[in-house]
Chains A and B, each alone.
With several copies, the nearest count.
Chain A
Amino acid sequence: MSEHVHAIHPEPDMVQLLTPEGQRVEHADYPLEISDDDIAALYRDLVLVRRIDTEAIALQRQGELGLWASLLGQEAAQIGAGRALRTQDMAFPTYREHGVAWCRDVDPLTLLGLYRGTNLGGWDPGANNFNLYTIVIGAQTLHATGYAMGVVRDGAVGTGDVDRDTAVLAFFGDGASSQGDVNESFVWAAAGNLPVVFFCQNNQWAISEPVERQSRVPLYQRSSGFGFPGVRVDGNDVLACLAVTRKALDDARSAQGPTFIEAYTYRMNPHTTNDDPRRYRLGSEAETWKLKDPIERVRAYLTREARIEPSFFADVDAEAKKLAEHVRAGCRELADPTAESLFDSVYVTMPDELREQRDEFAAFVSEVGA
């Protein structure tokens, strides 16, 4: 590179509060006071969402789901971010944020419809302040930004009322960082000083493309070009993800504007159940990342440092087993869409010509089905 590098920075440390070995470490900018009980609760979250994921993959293999996008390896990023949200905050996921859904109290079965092909999502984003999954890469970052514009117009930032001030959390991937929409959302967020936090899970891969295809500098630096802060956090460290996201959301709620968070993590599984990563990456890469497993380090910490019930780990495992059964049984019971449902929500007010098509189709389906 040339010498007139006015605008390239030294790489700061990645924020880490819990080492892969399970040691608590401090970070001056991100002090985190958290009880062992709360850490245990995070452990439970991590284990349960991994279990949901495992179960969904199995269901896909059995033909019960058409597809699944696994979160394996990204549990800490999602639980850390998700647990930083307050009730009134709004989350905008991609198609992989099953862990965030969990934190928002969305029943995992709700997520399965679109992967099973019984609906296209079909949940109410307002019910748990968790937007519908968005498949077009990056599109949801603009939705999040627009939602944040609404929050500002509702007078729900910077009032000091903790139950009122609202932040928006937009999820996207390393690959998505190249999309025009994502960069436009940075433009809007910065120009409007909007209460939106951009949470990028850099899982190192966009299907088969390594992150180097998207950027030659660490992604957290992107936001500096737009005039708002960026920070890289250990995406496999649930405490660091919690602390960093909490801080960013606090800033957003208190009218201090947007933050970009790069959660440095790894997609342990294929991109989706359709993908074959042996074609493009070495298995040894995943082996290395396994040493940084987001759950193991919390378990190590709890085992060594915390006073928890002796039955704790067994209880969580039992709960996971029950959850798996819920997912398994519930998935098989998800109803197929009705013929009418394909037409009924295209418009709020259905045009006559579409009603005719609906009736024709419904008659056809009931005839063929009969």
Chain B
Amino acid sequence: MTESKTMAKALNDGLRKAMEADPKVVIMGEDVGKLGGVFRITDGLQKDFGEDRVIDTPLAESGIIGTAVGLAIRGYRPVCEIQFDGFVFPGFDQIVSQVAKFHNRSAGLVKMPITIRIPSGGGIGAVEHHSESVETYFAHTAGLKVVACSNASDAYWMIQEAIADDDPVIFIEPKRLYHAAKSEIADAPTPMYQARVVRPGTHVTVAGYGPTMTTLAESAKAAADDGIELELIDLRTVSPLDIPTVVESVRRTGRLIVVHEAPHSFGVGAEIAARVTEQAFYSLEAPVLRVTGYDTPYPPSRLEHEWLPNLDRVLDAVDKIMEY
């Protein structure tokens, strides 16, 4: 362990490292230059790497992704910033039909080493379209990888691994944790595409990723006070999923709760429930339960903390699953 940083700073440092490591890395997006992005994640990078490598683009997401595809064909390694989760959709076609499919269309002859950073999730008191969780759309799309960081150290390492990855990566950044408590940066990364058990426990396995991990840590403490030991798994990668790590845990605990902010139905929790149930059918004492966003558009901010998976909702699910 070395210094202590916010996630925002860790991402900024990670981006800087990636740009230093490979001159083909370019950052592109709305307001990523002088402003350093609305969240300041690219702060100072244009000043240090120039306008050719940190590009303030015109205001159009399809254009951002589509030109990134062209840059990738030319041998570049673009890092696209989508300003807020809800604004990825104008770029959806280029992501799903081009970024995800190009390598396969070319029979492996053209790589698409594109990283698409999406400040994601709710809890920041914002207006419509600024608090969404869009990971499921991409996880359901073959050809994309989807990862989510939940702490500064992962943020620092994972952004570098995502950029170095020759496959396209949707990089989910839990925006409400950008400036939350600082944490230390590990000396070396946990390999990407692996989940991590962040707290061992015996009674119930609880798996989450990205923004929900802080809620889960609190929940585990509260549950422990009631004598229930939660085993917490930070999935870190949504696609591919690291199911072996979850199954291993569930074989011990017999119970699994999956937590995410994205809407309940057809969400990540469903896939994990289906797969874990298939692989650990005889180990499960209870059905997999899900604590998620509801099947509504993201709510007006005055009720967002109630709507989001929160301590109370997680503990409710723990009670429920223990009753089986």
Contact = CB atoms under 8 A, between A and B. Distances in A.
A149 B26 CA distance: 11
A368 B85 CA distance: 29
A150 interface: yes
A142 B65 CA distance: 8
A306 interface: no
18 contacts: A67-B127, A114-B127, A117-B125, A118-B302, A120-B101, A124-B106, A126-B73, A139-B97, A142-B65, A146-B71, A146-B73, A176-B59, A180-B62, A209-B59, A214-B58, A336-B303, A348-B166, A353-B240
B231 interface: no
B281 interface: no
B52 interface: yes
B70 A144 contact: yes
Contacts of B16: none
Interface in B98-121: 98, 101-111
A343 B66 contact: no
A349 B237 CA distance: 15
B128 A120 contact: yes
A118 B248 CA distance: 41
Contact of B63 (A118, A142, A207): A142
Contacts of A175: 58-59
Contacts of B110: 124-126, 132
B35 A188 contact: no
B97 A136 contact: yes
Contacts of A353: 240-241, 243, 265, 295
A191 interface: yes
Nearest to B66: A142
Contacts of A279: 34-36
A115 interface: yes
Contacts of A147: 70-71, 73-74
Contacts, number: 268
Give me the 10 closest cross-chain CB pairs, A-B, nearest first: A146-B70, A142-B66, A150-B74, A146-B67, A117-B301, A351-B240, A208-B35, A345-B108, A178-B58, A184-B63
B73 A209 contact: no
B33 interface: yes
Nearest to A348: B166
A121 B265 CA distance: 26
B165 interface: yes
Given A139-B98, A342-B300, 17 more contacts: A95-B127, A120-B101, A136-B129, A139-B94, A146-B67, A151-B74, A180-B90, A279-B36, A336-B303, A337-B299, A337-B302, A346-B296, A349-B166, A349-B167, A351-B239, A353-B241, A361-B306
A180 B69 contact: no
A122 B302 CA distance: 15
Contacts of A146: 66-74, 78
Nearest to A152: B52
B189 interface: no
A256 interface: no
Given A136-B86, A191-B58, A150 B70 contact: yes
Interface string A171-214: 00001101111001101100100000000000000111100011
Interface residues of B, number: 84
B93 A280 contact: no
Contacts of B229: none
Interface of A: 66-67, 90, 95, 113-126, 131-132, 134-137, 139, 141-154, 175-176, 178-181, 184-185, 187-188, 191, 206-209, 213-214, 274-275, 279-280, 336-337, 339, 341-349, 351-354, 357, 361, 364-365, 368
B52 A153 contact: yes
A178 B70 contact: no
Contacts of B313: 364
B129 A339 contact: no
A113 B102 CA distance: 16
B141 to A, nearest CB: 11
B106 A142 contact: no
Contacts of A136: 86-87, 89-90, 93, 97-98, 129
Contacts of B200: none
A280 B31 CA distance: 10
Contacts of B142: 346
A145 B299 contact: no
B58 A213 contact: yes
B143 A346 contact: yes
Given A66-B127, A114-B127, A143 B98 contact: yes
A354 B295 contact: yes
Contacts of A349: 165-167
A114 B302 CA distance: 10
Contacts of A178: 58-60, 63
A207 B307 contact: no
Nearest to A174: B59
Interface string B289-308: 00000111101111110110
B70 A208 contact: no
A135 B316 CA distance: 35
B258 to A, nearest CB: 16
Given A124-B109, A150-B75, A354 B58 contact: no
A120 B306 contact: no
Interface string B277-292: 0000000000000000
B76 interface: yes
B97 A354 contact: no
B38 interface: yes
